[in-house]
Amino acid sequence: MSTAAISPDKSFGRTLKEWIFTIDHKRIGVLYLIGSLAAFAVAGLMAMLIRIELGSVGPTITNPNTYNTWLYFHGAAMILAFQIPALTGFLANYLVPLMIGAKDMAFPRLNALSLWLFWAGIIVALLTFVIPDSPDIMWTGYPPYSLRTGGNTALYVFTVHLMGFSSIVGGINLITTIMYMRAPGMTWRKLNIFVWSTLGAFILQLIFIPVLAAAVTMLLFDKYIGTHFFDPSAGGDVLLYQNLFWFYSHPAVYVILLPTMGMIFEITATFAKNRVFNYKMVVYGGIGGVVLLSGEVWIHHLFTSGMPDWIRMGMMVSTLMISIPVGLLMIGLIGTLYRAAIEYTTPMLYAVGFIFLFLIGGLTGIPNAMTAIDLAIHDTHFVVGHFHYVMAVSTTFAIFGSVYYLFPKMTGKMYNETLGKLGFLISFIGVNITFFTMMVVGIKGMPRRYFDYQQFAHLEGLHHIVTIGAFIIGIGAAVVLISWIHGLVAGRKAVDNPWSSKSVEWMTKTPPPPGNFHPIPRLSEDWHPYGYGN
């Protein structure tokens, strides 16, 4: 019996309808945020289960097949359904039109289409838990296993298709918006770093997603229609898949890194009240350099597969070369902090946390790039620890920090600083315990993607520590969630520009009305998003 029939709450029904049929970029952004946080929650739960299983030697709570499904869901959902949509869906949608002084995206209806394609992807991904033959092929879907398994490889392929279409549609929309919808006076040289980095990320998406879509479609055909693209016994090539997959998925880490860095720049400049150090170097050298180099390093994921030495050497050098533009971005960040009177609000703590985690992740990436060392550590927990530092956790910190940063703008209310800082502190301690120890376990020989480690029973003590760390992260994440709910329900009213930022998104009302600016702002000659006079 529906309660609505007894007490019809018309206004709730109407608002719900308004949200579902919305073409307002801000609401679309928020709906992206909700979807990606839901994916984060479920994928995070999987991480906890994985860690309980690995907490002690021998089967602990499950069997190898279920373990594989958990790990599949954890990796695929964290990347495809949480990080990429939170950055290029939520943040790009919510912020870019506001930052460039536009009234909406260039194609608002198309925007709604990309949102609902994303949600369809989330729902297909969640079907993993209700169908009998859940996929168990990890987020990479390598053949031959993905072709021979009894698991449902098609579900993985369709999830990738939906997320990919969503991103392509969103990319076309955003690039057009940035090109044609800027407010009078918003010249290219005055674009926020976040806008530049989003532009870079979407250029990468448009170039490389079709390659991934092709690769997984070939997988689908091989498994269900009987083609032999990846079957050497019938003239196919099994490494072809790995090449196609990483041809997209390495650039994808920059699709994640660029907007992440962009937000860290925004937060840092705001709370340091400093200009962005060497803006041109950051934009052309840092963001431009990453976009340019991102397509020629993918082989580093195949270092241990058979290949001629000259390719391996070349890819080692180009991989190491990526540290140059990334280094420029870091120099820009540190320079922005230099001699600043930094205000350590919750978003700023996350930004500083990001810098620390990203540095550890970056430095532990160098040994991976050296082929001679990588042969020994490839596919161990060292690599798992490394990429969680450099991408998984650091970016999650940037996303959480950005939610706090935008919380007043989005909700019209302030979050509670004490709760916010507490959540940060617990999470920060948790991730370092977890992922540092994970790297140590890896150097001692623990392979990745193993359900059990009878042959490495002496590592059990360290595995305990990793699992305890994971639970601390879980508590931290819960405090973060509580602080958001608390802010929503009980937060005090926010003023229009609580951080005294110069950037355009804070010039409008809080929360911004439909159409954002009335009238559209005209930016003067001497205005600059980081014009703090330092």
Our finding on whether 103 is near Cu ion (CB under 5 A) is no
Minimal distance, residue 252 CB to ligand HEM, in Å = 10
Minimal distance, residue 285 CB to ligand HEM, in Å = 26
Given ligand HEM, Cu ion, none, residue 138, with its beta carbon under 5 to 8 Å by kind, binds: ligand HEM
| CB nearer Cu ion, residue 319 or residue 434 | 319
Given ligand HEM, Cu ion, none, residue 51, with its beta carbon under 5 to 8 Å by kind, binds: ligand HEM
Minimal distance, residue 81 CB to ligand HEM, in Å = 10
Minimal distance, residue 138 CB to ligand HEM, in Å = 3
Given Cu ion, ligand HEM, none, residue 216, with its beta carbon under 5 to 8 Å by kind, binds: none
Minimal distance, residue 307 CB to ligand HEM, in Å = 22
Residues ≥6 apart with Cβ < 8 Å to 258:
197, 198, 200, 201, 204, 287, 290, 291
- Token pair of 331 as six digits: 């120099």
Our measurement of the distance from residue 316's CA atom to the centroid of its chain's CA atoms, rounded to an integer in Å, reads: 25
Our finding on whether 223 is near Cu ion (CB under 5 A) is no
| CB nearer ligand HEM, residue 41 or residue 214 | 41
Given ligand HEM, Cu ion, none, residue 473, with its beta carbon under 5 to 8 Å by kind, binds: ligand HEM
The residue of the chain with the least Cβ separation from Cu ion equals 250
The residue of the chain with the least Cβ separation from ligand HEM equals 75
Minimal distance, residue 139 CB to ligand HEM, in Å = 5
| CB nearer Cu ion, residue 156 or residue 247 | 247
| CB nearer ligand HEM, residue 102 or residue 244 | 244
| CB nearer Cu ion, residue 173 or residue 368 | 368
Our measurement of the distance from residue 393's CA atom to the centroid of its chain's CA atoms, rounded to an integer in Å, reads: 9
| CB nearer ligand HEM, residue 396 or residue 510 | 396
Query: What's the CA gap between 143 and 219, in Å, rounded?
Result: 8
Backbone φ and ψ for 220, nearest 5 degrees, come out as -60, -45
Given Cu ion, ligand HEM, none, residue 250, with its beta carbon under 5 to 8 Å by kind, binds: Cu ion
Given ligand HEM, Cu ion, none, residue 139, with its beta carbon under 5 to 8 Å by kind, binds: ligand HEM
| CB nearer ligand HEM, residue 78 or residue 276 | 78
- Token pair of 85 as six digits: 């949509």
Minimal distance, residue 212 CB to Cu ion, in Å = 14
- Token pair of 218 as six digits: 């070939």
Minimal distance, residue 406 CB to ligand HEM, in Å = 20
- Cis, peptide link before residue 325, omega less than 30° from 0: no
| CB nearer ligand HEM, residue 261 or residue 523 | 261
CA distances from 147 to 213, 222, 305 (A): 17, 7, 19
Given ligand HEM, Cu ion, none, residue 228, with its beta carbon under 5 to 8 Å by kind, binds: none
Given ligand HEM, Cu ion, none, residue 249, with its beta carbon under 5 to 8 Å by kind, binds: none
413 has which bridge partners? 493
Minimal distance, residue 483 CB to ligand HEM, in Å = 17
Helix 394-411 to helix 238-272 angle, to the nearest 10 degrees?
50
- Cβ atoms 298, 247 nearer than 8 A: yes
Task: Map the footprint of Cu ion across residues 239-268, applying CB under 5 A.
Answer: 250
| CB nearer ligand HEM, residue 349 or residue 398 | 398
Query: What's the CA gap between 478 and 87, in Å, rounded?
Result: 21
Query: What's the CA gap between 251 and 218, in Å, rounded?
Result: 20
Residue-by-residue DSSP string for 36-103: HHHHHHHHHHHHHHHHHHHTSSS--SS-HHHHHHHHHHHHHIIIIIIIHIIIIIIIHHHHHHHHTT-S
Cα angle 362, 366, 369; round to 5:
125
Our finding on whether 381 is near Cu ion (CB under 5 A) is no
Question: CB atoms < 10 A from the CB of 171, how many?
Answer: 24
**What does the DSSP 8-state code read for residue 345?**
-
Our finding on whether 378 is near Cu ion (CB under 5 A) is no
H or E stretch covering 282: none
Query: What's the CA gap between 504 and 187, in Å, rounded?
Result: 13
Minimal distance, residue 141 CB to ligand HEM, in Å = 9
List of residues contacting ligand HEM (CB under 6 A): 44, 47, 50-51, 71, 74-75, 78-79, 83, 138-140, 384, 388, 391-392, 396, 434, 448-450, 470, 473
| CB nearer ligand HEM, residue 83 or residue 134 | 83
| CB nearer ligand HEM, residue 19 or residue 387 | 387
- For 139, the 3-state DSSP assignment is coil
Hey, what's the torsion of the CAs at 220, 224, 226, 228, to 10 degrees?
Answer: 30
Minimal distance, residue 431 CB to ligand HEM, in Å = 7
- Token pair of 16 as six digits: 């719900």
Residues ≥6 apart with Cβ < 8 Å to 465:
433, 437
The site for Cu ion (CB under 5 A) is made up of: 250
